């Protein structure tokens, strides 16, 4: 049976969520029997142990914090991890035998076979420095979870390559099974320490002594019985949301969590990408929402952060943010960049420059000028977005025009009439209600400026319309 399930277990998630920023000396959580159920690394250093009575723990380390479980925060973090795992497998399930355990099916995933370390590194980065994780790989989800419990934090545990799964699973200690303390004590009193010891007993005797549910559990563990589980719901929207470790009121404090949110979304997007991103920051009594547009799909974290820096420094949020949400909008298929090396680099640099200008100045402030077939100077051009393809507009054969055209003509007094040969007559506009009849000519002002002036043939007045360089 080929290895196909990867289990991801957070052994102390409920406690560690309360101390993600490391400001507390330690945190532990008690169960319904008032015994230590979970603890973080700080509590472990003070000598706190799982199963210790709450009274003993308080007496041993009174300075440590005793917290209640936050089920909503625990679920939200598991949901984020599950959405990340969907980038590598078609099915992600919750292993309900343990509080905070997930498994992803990897069978037939060429991406996993080609780059197994990429997934492991993504999970480690997701967990960060404050969340412990256990990773296990096996042909069944239950076996993968038990392998994970045998391993060390942050390392992938699986059976030796030179041994079959049938041999490896029998060495799994029974103390790792999710049974109560009474049943574990019974197993030890009978000399049953591993799954292999269990297997040597008669099947009927095992069911009578310990109940048929454990017989079914071991069958599912070995893969000889089906283990149907409901898949973890896959989000249709690409959004990441999480509370900030500390209140953030400037760009430097927001940079790291924003990078983390982008990297999570990039892993979930897989072969898709986005050119529109929405950032939502929430404080105690305020909310800030901002959109970012890019010319090309954003796949680089550094460019993503540069664009947001330009955007947010121009439009600061002005309060202490406590929660972050990043959404990828209008996602599209993304197969990567193609083209010749030099051409590709040039186009990428041009696109990145446009994106930075847009982030700093606004989308509507960046445009390209394109000519239009019209004799009237003010209607002979129009603005288009930079991405719009350039059309081959057939322009009339005109005399030289000034580069600097005024928004509106300004009345002037001309001291001498130009020669007839110097005039350029422009008439038109009857079709759109802006009919003009003008005689244009060059005129050098007393200060030396070379002006483009016209005489309105209806009013006989002179107007300045532009300057030559």
**391 within domain boundaries:** no
**324 within domain boundaries:** yes
Structural domain range at position 22 = 5-222
- The answer to whether residues 412 and 460 belong to one domain is yes
- The answer to whether residues 93 and 214 belong to one domain is yes
CATH number for the domain spanning 306: value is 3.30.1490.100
**201 within domain boundaries:** yes
Helices (H), 362-438: none
Contacts of 448 (CB under 8 A, 6+ apart): none
- The answer to whether residues 22 and 141 belong to one domain is yes
Check residue 352 and give its pLDDT: 66
| Each residue's pLDDT expressed in tens, for the chain with a length of 469 residues | 456 899 999 999 999 999 988 889 999 999 888 999 999 999 999 999 999 999 999 999 999 989 999 999 999 999 999 998 988 888 999 999 999 999 999 876 766 777 788 888 889 988 888 899 999 999 999 999 999 999 899 899 987 777 788 888 888 999 999 998 899 999 999 999 999 898 888 888 888 888 889 999 999 998 899 999 999 998 878 889 888 988 999 999 999 999 989 988 888 886 778 888 999 999 999 999 999 888 778 888 888 898 898 888 888 898 999 999 999 988 877 765 544 444 455 556 666 667 766 766 766 667 777 777 777 888 777 777 766 555 655 555 567 888 888 988 999 987 677 777 778 888 888 888 788 899 999 888 888 889 999 999 888 899 999 999 7
- The answer to whether residues 253 and 201 belong to one domain is no
- The answer to whether residues 326 and 448 belong to one domain is no
CA 97-119-69 angle, to 5 degrees, is 40
Contacts of 46 (CB under 8 A, 6+ apart): 25, 26, 60, 61, 64
- The answer to whether residues 245 and 218 belong to one domain is no
Last residue of a domain, one of 174, 196, 222: 222
In a 3-state reduction of DSSP, which class is residue 464?
Answer: strand
**108 within domain boundaries:** yes
Q: pTM for this structure?
A: 0.67
Check residue 349 and give its pLDDT: 65
**357 within domain boundaries:** yes
Check residue 181 and give its pLDDT: 87
- Cα(323)–Cα(328) distance, integer angstroms: 17
Q: Are 68 and 84 in contact (CB under 8 A)?
A: no
Check residue 245 and give its pLDDT: 82
Last residue of a domain, one of 361, 389, 424: 361
- The answer to whether residues 208 and 260 belong to one domain is no
Last residue of a domain, one of 192, 222, 252: 222
- The answer to whether residues 432 and 457 belong to one domain is yes
Check residue 342 and give its pLDDT: 43
Where on the phi/psi map is residue 249: left (φ > 0), alpha (ψ -120 to 50), or beta? alpha
Q: Which two tokens stand for residue 337?
A: 């960049």
C-alpha torsion sign, points 330, 239, 92, 144? positive
- Cα(173)–Cα(175) distance, integer angstroms: 5
- The answer to whether residues 356 and 434 belong to one domain is no
**126 within domain boundaries:** yes
- Cα(24)–Cα(19) distance, integer angstroms: 6
- The answer to whether residues 345 and 261 belong to one domain is yes
Q: Which of 249, 324, 263 is nearest to 298 (CA)?
A: 263
In a 3-state reduction of DSSP, which class is residue 374?
Answer: coil
- The answer to whether residues 195 and 293 belong to one domain is no
Domain count, the chain: 3
**386 within domain boundaries:** no
**378 within domain boundaries:** no
Q: Which two tokens stand for residue 415?
A: 């001291």
- The answer to whether residues 322 and 438 belong to one domain is no
């Amino acid at each position: 049976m080929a290895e196909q399930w990867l289990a991801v277990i957070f052994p102390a998630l409920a406690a560690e969520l309360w101390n993600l920023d490391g400001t507390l000396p330690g945190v532990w959580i008690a169960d319904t029997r008032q015994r230590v159920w979970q603890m973080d690394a700080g509590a472990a250093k003070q000598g706190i142990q799982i199963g210790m009575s709450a009274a003993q723990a308080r007496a041993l380390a009174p300075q440590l914090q005793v917290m209640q479980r936050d089920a909503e925060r625990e679920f939200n973090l598991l949901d984020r991890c599950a959405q990340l795992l969907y980038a590598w497998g078609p099915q992600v399930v919750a292993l309900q035998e343990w509080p905070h355990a997930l498994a992803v099916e990897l069978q037939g995933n060429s991406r996993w076979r080609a780059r197994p370390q990429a997934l492991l590194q993504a999970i480690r980065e997701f967990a960060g420095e404050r969340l412990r994780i256990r990773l296990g790989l096996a042909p069944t989800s239950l076996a993968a979870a038990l392998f994970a419990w045998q391993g060390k934090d942050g390392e992938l545990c699986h059976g030796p390559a030179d041994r079959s799964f049938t041999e490896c699973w029998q060495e799994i200690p029974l103390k790792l099974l999710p049974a109560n303390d009474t049943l574990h004590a019974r197993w030890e009193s009978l000399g049953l320490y591993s799954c292999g010891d269990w297997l040597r007993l008669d099947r009927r005797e095992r069911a009578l002594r310990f109940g048929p549910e454990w017989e079914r559990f071991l069958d599912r563990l070995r893969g000889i019985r089906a283990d149907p589980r409901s898949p973890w719901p896959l989000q249709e929207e690409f959004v990441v949301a999480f509370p900030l470790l500390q209140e953030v009121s400037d760009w430097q404090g927001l940079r790291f969590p924003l990078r983390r949110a982008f990297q999570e979304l990039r892993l979930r997007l897989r072969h898709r990408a986005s050119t529109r991103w929405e950032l939502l920051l929430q404080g105690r009594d305020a909310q800030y929402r901002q959109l970012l547009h890019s010319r090309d799909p954003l796949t680089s974290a550094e460019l993503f952060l540069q664009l947001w820096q330009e955007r947010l420094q121009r439009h600061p949020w002005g309060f202490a943010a406590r929660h972050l949400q990043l959404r990828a909008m209008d996602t599209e298929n993304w197969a990567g960049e193609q083209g010749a090396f030099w051409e590709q680099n040039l186009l990428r640099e041009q696109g990145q420059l446009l994106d930075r200008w847009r982030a700093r100045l606004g989308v509507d402030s960046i445009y390209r000028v394109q000519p239009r077939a019209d004799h009237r100077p003010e209607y002979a051009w129009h603005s288009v977005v930079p991405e719009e393809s350039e059309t081959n507009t057939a322009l009339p054969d005109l005399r030289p025009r000034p580069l600097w055209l005024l928004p509106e003509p300004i009345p002037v007094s001309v001291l001498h009439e130009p020669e007839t040969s110097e005039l350029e007559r422009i008439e038109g506009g009857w079709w759109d209600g802006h009919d003009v009849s003008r005689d244009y000519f060059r005129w050098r002002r007393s200060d030396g400026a070379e002006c483009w002036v016209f005489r309105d043939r209806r009013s006989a007045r002179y107007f300045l319309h532009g300057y030559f360089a």
